[in-house]
Structure 1
């Protein structure tokens, strides 16, 4: 509808000029048509509307035999100036739109470089991931996930950087790099959490003098999980992150931490170390890790997305199917208006001769 608005205004101006008294001028409609064309149409459309507006005015002036009126020439000059300004404004908007597309492309490429694809199978675990960017106008965020096969089992990470933009991406890249290195040799999850905390605090200490950088204030909520090869369990350490969901035989249970720790880069608040929670995790069970963009998705009434309730009917699906259902449901629930980035990672234990 909006792209036809300039032509509609042009037509209204012509009708006003033809069927109203001569003292009722169509100039306002013609000028509005040209300005709206600059914002709504490509360059050729803006030029066409500008030429059309001037042609309509000249035609009406000739029809009313007003060419000898000096006011008519003044009005025509004004319309020509507005047409020229509209073309200039259209070019300016086009250049800015092109720059915005380039910036978004670079940002998306940077985020994809940070979030490397997670293998579908790691040892005895099947994995699937979901990442949904917020609305196109939103800045890139710092949601992250990773899964690594180690001699301790499969270790998982999901996190959410406070804030958005390139600083968030940089913080996410730092955390992911530290996790990819430390996950292999940290003897347990508390040691792994301390290694990640050290990396994040070290990074923050490198920028104390940058005014307004917010790096020293930036923290990351994170959840670490470990699925050992030889035990039907899952171990988790929660650092200010939403609790994971355990899907077992059609039931959905939140794995609330007994002693949650603060987010990473707030390690000075940890006094008694990191607490490990242990839950049964049998073949066929699924573990869903997610960022708060999922549970903070709102419908039109402002109600938050009830994740455990909505996901229960899909608990018997494969990881790929379950996340596909979740993807569609989040879009439908929010009426296509996602306000935050969303990341989710699901792990399913496959039958193994080591599991009893």
Structure 2
């Protein structure tokens, strides 16, 4: 059975209670009792189906709390006694209310009911704990990848983060958009590795970018500043894998007074420029190494400039998108998919991408995915400080 659709991580964190079991599981005890009551009169006296009621407390414990389980235990004992003491069932001439086998059945039902009550209480406690943990993870996600303004100046922004597992909330993929005096600066990146170390590195990268984006007038200087920050972070962590702790990233800048996009690529999948009649990969072939591998760079970071006209979109994404595979191991054809969809609004585009990735992989994503879409709106230049929150 295919797992339920996972929603991209976004928006404010809200505290929720324990998950509600599906309706069929909540009604399972009632159906179980009904089947026993139907079969009991139809079976021979040597085959007392009422003995099956001993499992009713455990069946109830799957979806209900300890009080309901205790009530189901009492009901099971009463029904067992009624069925045992009814001579008419299956042609009986005498009841077996106090027969030693039935008395043993009553005792077993009470014992199983006690265990079921304990299990139900433990399940409720675990579910509440898991709900609290997820709430904390949602708060951490909101701090790490805070919701972007839907509009900055004449730039429309949308984003999504899709975890590879339904239980996870945060990972090593990151994105950000910062309005500055030099224009709107965008970042998307992917930290090598997984787990808490990747999350900590992503938080450090985002914090450094949010500060440096306002101070460095040149996009290449901003990339160098980020290189230094990641290198210091890796050295601070220490260990034998310091040189392997790197971050692939793309920095983009869209000035408020010009219809151009400037890009510095640090070992990351190249952005896509989505036009009504074309999907173009912004790859000049001069990508630099990932952050923290700057010793491999023999020259300064190279800035590539491309025309960016109203109605066009810039799509930044992590390799979790293009490395998604279908059942035959074929990689996801992102550019071809975008061409087939035609012109779409940024939110519609990312929603379509989200569902298409799940369909393509059969809900079996192998890596976290993040994407950021920026669309230039028609109209005169507007201040980059003129932004609105979602």
**TM-score, scaled relative to structure 1:** 0.83
Unaligned runs of 5+ in 1: none
Partners of 2:117 and 2:284 in 1: CA distance: 61
Count of aligned pairs between the two proteins: 351
2:294, 2:73 → 1: CA distance?
Answer: 63
Secondary structure (helix, strand or coil) at the match of 1:206 reads helix
Q: 1:351 to 1:74 in 2, by over 3 A?
A: closer
CA shift digits 1:83-140 (9 cap, x unpaired): 1101110110110000100110111111112223323343453323233455542353
Q: Can you list the C-alpha shifts for 1:21-76, whole angstroms capped at 9, x where unaligned? A: 33334366324432232122344443333223222222232236224433322222
Alignment of 1:25-40 (within 5 A): 25-26=48-49, 29-40=52-63
- Mapped partners of 2:312, 2:244: distance in 1: 38
Q: Does 1:277 align with 2:304?
A: yes
* Residue 144 (1) aligns with residue 139 (2): no
Separation in 1 of the partners of 2:254 and 2:149? 15
Deviation at 1:345, TM superposition (A): 1.4
Equivalent pair of 2:264/2:303 in contact (CA under 8 Å): yes
How far off is 1:149 after superposition? Answer: 2.7
Decide which of 57, 60, 63 is 2:86's aligned counterpart.
63
Q: Distance in 1 between matches of 2:160 and 2:36?
A: 52
Quick check: 1:85 aligned with 2:115? yes
Residue number in structure 1 paired with 2:214:
184
Cα distance change on mapping 1:301 and 1:53 into 2, 3 Å: farther
Indicate conservation of the 8 Å contact 1:16/1:25, yes or no.
no
1:157 is aligned to: 187
Residues of 2 paired with 1:88 and 1:261: CA distance? Answer: 59
Q: Distance in 2 between matches of 1:32 and 1:257?
A: 68
What are the Cα deviations for residues 299-325 of structure 1, in whole angstroms up to 9, with x where unaligned?
A: 666654432222225553343443344
Distance between the aligned counterparts of 1:158 and 1:185, measured in 2?
19
Match for residue 306 of structure 1?
A: 333
Does 1 or 2 have the higher relative contact order (CA < 8 Å, sep 6+)? 2
The answer (yes or no) to whether the contact 1:10–1:29 under 8 Å persists in 2 is: no
Pairing of 1:44-123 with structure 2 (within 5 A): 44-63=67-86, 65-123=95-153
> Which residue pairs with 1:195 in the alignment?
225
Aligned residue for 1:346? 373
1:11 aligns with 2:28: no
- Paired with 2:326 and 2:347, the residues of 1 have a C-alpha distance of 25
Query: Does structure 1 retain, via aligned residues, the 8 Å contact 2:66–2:116?
Result: no
**Which residue does the alignment assign to 1:260?**
287
Greater alpha carbon shift after TM alignment, 132-141 vs 175-184: 132-141
The alignment partner of 2:279 has SS state of strand
Contact 1:7 1:33 in 2 (8 A): no
Inter-CA distance 135–47: structure 2 relative to 1 (3 Å threshold): farther
2:313–2:374 contact (8 Å) kept in structure 1: yes
Is the contact made by 2:250 and 2:264 (CA closer than 8 Å) also made in structure 1? Answer: yes
